[in-house]
Structure 1
Amino acid sequence: MRAWLDRHPRWTFHFTPTSASWLNAVEGFFAKLTQRRLRRGVFRSLVDIQAAIKRFVAETNSRPKPFVWTSDLDRIIRAAKRGHLVLDSHH
């Protein structure tokens, strides 16, 4: 993998920590949008796609669901500590 990256200097990878839950939420939203509205849709113009996205957002916002934390706090802290140890060991 490293050799490939050395041959392709324009490619860069950015580390996103697992603690970036807002990013996970955004990715989840776009995954739902893609699966439920865009993947099997037939769109004849950009305006049609924009309208489908706006309908999806309106429908999603009309039935909001609160975020419910389901993980054990101690488990999360242990995982975060393991992640920090791994990150620190590579520098």
Structure 2
Amino acid sequence: TLKWYLLPKPQLDDSQYNVTPFSRYGHTVVVYKRKFYLWGGRNDRPVPCNRLFCFDPKSRQWSLVSIVGDFVPSPRDGHSACVINDRMYIFGGFEDH
């Protein structure tokens, strides 16, 4: 049986405020080690997002993830993503230049 939870939108003085992603579309979410990882997407802002967010369903908390490596994907939406061998891969999508 699945159970839905409504997470309250954090207020400015809440520790979750700066680590909770804004409402968006065109993003991807992958599941890795029982956590959800969200990349990219946009809302009505002119530029898509290039931050990696993590949601832990056990604690119901968001966090920002540091990206390791020589390459950080550019902000994008409309892409695909998957996890293979402990790495998240992002394919295609739309970039603003």
Q: TM-score range by the shorter chain?
A: under 0.3
Q: Which has the higher strand share?
A: 2
User: Which structure has the highest helix share of the two?
Assistant: 1
TM-score relative to the length of structure 1:
0.23
Q: Which has the larger radius of gyration?
A: 1
Structure number with higher relative contact order (C-alpha < 8 Å, ≥ 6 residues apart): 2
TM-score (norm 2): 0.22
